[in-house]
Amino acid sequence: PSYPKAWKATEVLTNWNPNDVTIVPPAHRDVYHGLCIFDYQTQYDIAKAYRDAERPFIIRNDPNVMAASKRWYGNPNYLRDNFPDEKVYTERSPINHFMFYTEKKKHRVESWSQPKNDIIEMTYREWLERALEREANVLGSPEISELAKKLREERMKKGETDDGDPPEDDEIKEDHDTEEEKRLKWYYLRINGWLEDADEEGTDKFVFDELKFFDPRKKDSDFYMIDKKKQRGINCRFGMRGIIAENHMDLSRNTIALLGGERRYIIAHPEQCTKMGLYPHEHPSGRHSSFDWCNPTEWDIHPEFKEARVSEVVMHAGDVLYLPTAWFHYIVNLSINIQCNIRSGIGEENMNFVNECGFDPR
């Protein structure tokens, strides 16, 4: 397709290696940006036409999204004061690359090795402490370092330890890392809001009350959700600078709001499916590229990838990205950030490409 404009993936990655987030960025950086960006207040109808045509785009300046961003990211104490001080699902890794996997499929693949990331539980406050500490080290900021120090002192004063009851979910590991070991790792915290529990006091209600533009019961969500009956809850991820979520496709429509910080998305049309070096459907990491996009030597192992074409966009707080069904996306966390997304059914327009790769969500 002619939209969005796309370039060779190897050219985009050579221009800006995704691992390069460890220094203060230059005042100007060329990016291979092919997506349209619309203003919610002045270009709503045009954006809706793109959405109805199942084309990806960015929309910004939605007052509801901007207000949520101001609360969640602009006020450093807001989430600390409103999220329950309990441990939640958190991915952990000794490296900055995170590969999705499901242990339910591990017996279907011979000699499967789990990716380096695993799953623990962590409070939002401890995640923020560790994210700020990493940010301070990267930026050389005494002010951010002091914020992390205060959070750590609060945690130590409370006597928070990891000696509580073991997790009920077998997929979640007990966290026995020392403080020094934790300082060297990356953490990707997730908070979900489920509609069926949104009427009861708690995290689910808080998330749906805060993000009315993603609430299928509210008119504010009409633009962002095509098939409200197919919603699967609101999924919020809190990312540290440097974390990379490996390339993958989701087999449903995806609307992604960035409520704080910056993220780089490298996206590709589903027609690129056979060039992405994907793990097969039965693999624990199915739908995901099987190699490190940051490492040019691995491109030689998958020569088809050298012909893959992609586009990229740097999202800022208040931006919302609409991704139609099965569009590939590779996510780079450029700073501490907050992203929330919601699904709304399956589009049929690219099922021929999905089937060609051996995937069918129906």
pLDDT of 66 = 98
What secondary structure does DSSP assign to 34-47, as a single string? ---EEETTTSHHHH
pLDDT of 168 = 63
Task: Please check whether residue 252 is in contact with residue 324, taking contact to mean a CB–CB distance below 8 angstroms.
Answer: no
pLDDT of 21 = 87
Q: What is the mean pLDDT of each run of 10 residues along the chain (362 residues)?
A: 94 95 70 96 98 97 98 92 89 97 86 93 96 93 95 87 58 90 96 94 93 96 95 96 97 96 97 96 94 96 97 97 97 97 94 89 59
Give the position of tokens 């099922």: 351
Q: For 139, which DSSP code?
A: H
pLDDT of 24 = 59
Cis, bond preceding 4 (omega within 30 deg of 0): yes
CB atoms within 10 A of CB 162: 12
CA 169 from chain centre, in angstroms, equals 22
pLDDT of 83 = 86
Quick check: helix, strand or coil at residue 58? strand
> What is the pTM assigned to this prediction?
0.94
Q: What is the dihedral of CA 206, 211, 216, 217, to 10 degrees?
A: 60
Nearest to 339 by CA among 272, 265, 260: 260
Burial class (CB in 10 A: 0-12, 13-18, 19+), 170: exposed
pLDDT of 216 = 96
